[in-house]
A and B are shown apart, each in its own frame.
Chain A
Amino acid sequence: MIDLLAATTSSVTSIPLGITKEGNWFLQNAWLIPLIPALSFVGILFFGKRLPRGGSELGIAALLIVFLLSICTGFAWMDHRDNFHGEEISQTLISSEHGEHGEHGEHGEHGEHGEPSLAVVNTATWFITGGVEFSVGTLVDGPAVMMLFVVTLVSLLVHIYSTDYVAGDRRFTHFFAFLSLFSSSMLLLVISENTLQLLVSWELVGLCSFALIGHWWEEKDNSNAALKAFLTNRVGDMGLLIGVTILFFASGEMIPDSFGSFSIVTTNALASSGLLSHSTLLIAACCLMAAVMSKSGQFFLHTWLPDAMAGPTPVSALIHAATMVVAGVFMIARLYGVFFEGFSIGGSSINLMALIGGFTTLVGACLAFVQRDIKKVLAYSTISQLGYMVMALGVGAWTAAMFHLFTHAFFKACLFLGSGSVAHSVHSFDMKSDMGGLRKVMPQTFRTFIIGSIALAGLPPFAGFWSKDEILAGTGGWGILGGTNGNGSYTFMLIMGMITAALTAAYMTRCVYLTFFGEFRGHGHPHESGPRITIPLWILAVLAIFAGFLNLPKGFQLVPKSLQERFGHYVEPVAGYFPEIAHATPSWSLAIVSTIVVIAGISLAWNYYFVKVEKASKESGKSLTELPDGLTTRLTLARMGHTLLVNKYYLDHLYTGIITRAVKEPIAELAYRSNQEILDRTVDTFGRTAVKIGQLNYEKIDQNLVDGFVNASGRISSDSGEELRKIQSGKVQSYAAILFAAATILAGLLIVIV
């Protein structure tokens, strides 16, 4: 009663959500995009084996349709962003004690950011339980459209590539079915309207990665890697579940006639306007961060990602470079209001997200140096680059993070597919024992790999340079030379980013040398891959060169203003559900310094491999992969560092050897004991009693009673038959005698009775 009074008396206000229900057909019907690959999954599963190309044509067709749809959606969104002036939807609120936050809720001036962009939302009721309506729908805005494009393009190229790469595989059809399901779940994730839907697709993505990593499960290592990926992801998924639940109830407090809301825009809008308590948001953000750490391979839950290279290479390219692992980054970007307020990114104190991201980027880059397996170099590089993105989000450089995600998808997919092309040819992933000198025999792969490497290292004007530079500028730490006022000055993150840039350049130089230079160390005769492998490589390589021009920095004097920050303009939401973030000013001096750092990294590695190792190789007469008297053999400290890296910081030992064993062994012991003492004994007793009863039953009842009865009845019929056959004499008159005798007896009986 009191609650009711309070509800009626408190003044009800509303906040703008920055969404609309109107818009282009493509924007309203984005649900078709995940649906088509899902149908293709079912189709391949049921009919794939009967199709002439094992179901791959179905997957490619579905992805092609979806890719075209995504492009249409992209253009529709660009038009919508610039020209749409429809009605904006607001969320009605209970504003009782939170009234003092009213001025945040105004969200009036968008002066710096330009016109607001209204995301297109289309929802339907999923189910209603206990009076709460759970909806399912699409939220189409800048980041969603960008992701649709990236996912469908990379997935399409991976499909085409796979038709050659896994040709003749015993589970060819199965492989394509899961590629389709994977694409579908990822596309569902990026257009999710609410966190529940996000959670579902998040899990689906995890499931598909499990199935695809373990594609060749006959080998124990592969199925272990799949399990590791799945279980490590479970750890983080717990965080996601808790975080989503916290946000559900937190936003429900502010909405009349409802005790919760899964809606992403509502949650974000409430968080951004300061209507939710800071501590709630901090806890929710920490929980969600755990999910990001597991999915996006952040330190210290990154250990599954390198192992996941056990899957087929196209899968690595699709899942572990371009799409799945960026799901975590995308989730931060989606719920940025929550993270922005929760971690106080606007203030310049170092927060958890920036710290984890920065640390991961360094840790991953260091590990990439000691790998023999070309795919593992790329896997650690992915971890490092994902760290870059998370760090960028942690310092408030949202657009830079998204842009890096965009460019990284292209050059990392290019590198992964390139490594697959090499492995396809030499039948191994080991750079030290089976590669070397491949530039002569695989010119196409070599050129695209070089392009991808330069883009990853971040030399201008390749794609990686522009996005990396934006992140470095976005840290706002370049205060001493020109100043890049962002959301705060994260000088520490800037230093980490700079070191990583140098390390990235160096390990990619090492990787390129070991793979393509020197003399061939493997067996057999490697050859260039076919067009279905090289054409996707070239498409990605071209994008790795040019994608960076989509977001030329603001104030970049060499191009007209209309070409500056196009990506930021279309992708970054300016709406009620997005926090007001400050933008860093690009700096020429920073760009020059970061380029010098990259060149320094390349030069060091060049000096070691292309000069010293090459010379040593010539002297010794065989192709070496490292100096016989390198630093690690001379310096104890360097050797210790090397050992630490080779053992991956002993994290796997920590997880399996210490944590898992500490948990597992007492439980296993207890389970074993209870099994032996209680369960087994009970079962044994049951069994023994049953045997006894059965024995008794057999001897007494079955043998004597039942058998006796049956035998006796048989003997009786046999004996009586023997007697009766004597009557059957065949003589008519004896029958007649019996007839008359019987008639006489019956007549006598009749007389006696009547």
Chain B
Amino acid sequence: MLLNQFLILSAVLFSIGVYGVLTRRNGVMVLMSIELILNSVNINLVAFAAFREAIPGEVFALFVIAVAAAEVGVGLAMVLLLYRNRRNIDLAGIDSMKG
């Protein structure tokens, strides 16, 4: 088993995620891109754990899944509120914190 295949997959997913976060204007799409980034990290962690036969890597991946679930919960609630207040979820229009 080669480690680098997993790493390449992870890198590709990460890049797609970053691209999505930076370019998508839809809040839900941004959240999904963040999920992609987190899961690319998970792949990395599990791959290294399997490669080095060390359990802590997999345990850490489980933690990331749990935290990601919480993060999505909070994120979707925010998007929902945004939609209620502004009738759209276009992130480009939200700049009331401009300094």
Contacts and interface: CB of A to CB of B under 8 A. Distances in A.
Interface of A: 725, 727-733, 736-737, 740
30 contacts: A725-B99, A727-B99, A728-B97, A728-B98, A728-B99, A729-B95, A729-B99, A730-B94, A730-B95, A730-B96, A730-B97, A730-B98, A730-B99, A731-B91, A731-B94, A731-B95, A731-B98, A732-B30, A732-B91, A733-B21, A733-B23, A733-B30, A733-B91, A733-B92, A736-B21, A736-B22, A737-B22, A740-B18, A740-B21, A740-B22
Mostly helix, strand, loop or mixed at chain A's interface?
loop
A63 to B, nearest CB: 86
Please name the 7 residue pairs, one residue from A and one from B, whose CB atoms are nearest each other, closest first. A728-B99, A730-B98, A730-B95, A730-B97, A725-B99, A731-B95, A736-B21
Interface of B: 18, 21-23, 30, 91-92, 94-99
A719 B97 CA distance: 21
A725, A727, A728, A731 pick with most chain B CB within 10 angstroms:
A731
Contacts of B92: 731, 733
Contacts of A731: 91-92, 94-95, 98
A719 B94 CA distance: 27
Nearest to B96: A730
A360 B95 CA distance: 111
Contacts of B18: 740
Nearest to A735: B97
Nearest to B97: A730
Contact of B94 (A725, A732, A740): A732
B24 to A, nearest CB: 9
B30, B92, B99 pick with most chain A CB within 10 angstroms:
B99
Contacts of B23: 733
A732 B94 CA distance: 8
Contacts of A740: 18, 21-22
A733 B21 CA distance: 7
A730 B94 CA distance: 7
Nearest to B98: A730
Contacts of A727: 99
Contacts of A732: 30, 91, 94
Contacts of B97: 728, 730
Given A733-B21, A740-B18, 6 more contacts: A728-B97, A728-B98, A729-B95, A731-B98, A732-B94, A736-B22
A684 B91 CA distance: 77
A729 B91 contact: no
A735 to B, nearest CB: 10
Contacts of A729: 95, 98-99
A94 to B, nearest CB: 104
A737 B22 CA distance: 6
Nearest to B99: A728
Nearest to B93: A731
A728 to B, nearest CB: 3
B45 to A, nearest CB: 17
A728, A733, A737 pick with most chain B CB within 10 angstroms:
A733
A727, A732, A737, A740 pick with most chain B CB within 10 angstroms:
A732
Contacts of B30: 732-733
Contacts of A730: 94-99
A725 B98 CA distance: 8
Nearest to A739: B21
Contacts of B99: 725, 727-730
A260 to B, nearest CB: 92
Nearest to A732: B91
Contacts of A725: 99
B22 A733 contact: yes
Nearest to A743: B18
Contacts of A733: 21-23, 30, 91-92
Nearest to B92: A731
Contacts of B21: 733, 736, 740
A722 B84 CA distance: 35
A730 B98 CA distance: 4
A503 B95 CA distance: 118
A740 B99 CA distance: 21
A642 B34 CA distance: 126
A728 B98 CA distance: 6
A375 to B, nearest CB: 92
A733 to B, nearest CB: 6
B56 to A, nearest CB: 22
Contacts of B94: 730-732
Nearest to A744: B18
Nearest to B23: A733
A578 B62 CA distance: 118
B77 to A, nearest CB: 16
A724 B24 CA distance: 26
A725 B97 CA distance: 11
A725 B23 CA distance: 23
Contacts of A737: 22
A737 to B, nearest CB: 6
A736 B92 CA distance: 13
A733 B91 CA distance: 8
A444 to B, nearest CB: 99
Nearest to A736: B21
A731 B21 CA distance: 12
B17 to A, nearest CB: 10
A730 B97 CA distance: 4
A728 B97 CA distance: 8
Contacts of B91: 731-733
